[in-house]
Amino acid sequence: MKVNVQATNFNIDQKLIDFTQRKIDKLFQFYDKILRVDVFFKLENTSDRINKLAEIKISIVGENVVVKKLCKSFEESVDLSVRAAERILIRHKELLRS
């Protein structure tokens, strides 16, 4: 599945797009009815080093799952967001089964 990636306030690198694509592809192991994935990268205007925001919006049948993480690097924020999305999708799949 194609992941839509957008960046705000900076130009995105191809390495970051590829990294994000690999991480998002792992979500299909946990939930196969994902319709669309949008990833938004943004640099926050803070003096702190933790200023890189990754927001992942996952459209599944019936609802949307949105996960946001703010970290020191975009790779770390994508990794933490995907882990959180995995837990949410697993819970959602278990609720559908019961």
Q: Which domains does the chain have, with CATH numbers?
A: 3-97 (3.30.160.100)
pTM above 0.75, yes or no: yes
26-62 residue pLDDT tens: 998 888 889 999 999 998 887 778 889 999 999 998 8
> Sheet harboring 34-43: ordered strands across?
3-8, 34-43, 52-60, 63-71
Confidence class of residue 4 from pLDDT cuts 50, 70 and 90?
very high
Tell me: pLDDT of 89 over 80.
yes
Contact partners, residue 76, CB within 8 Å, separation at least 6: 52, 69
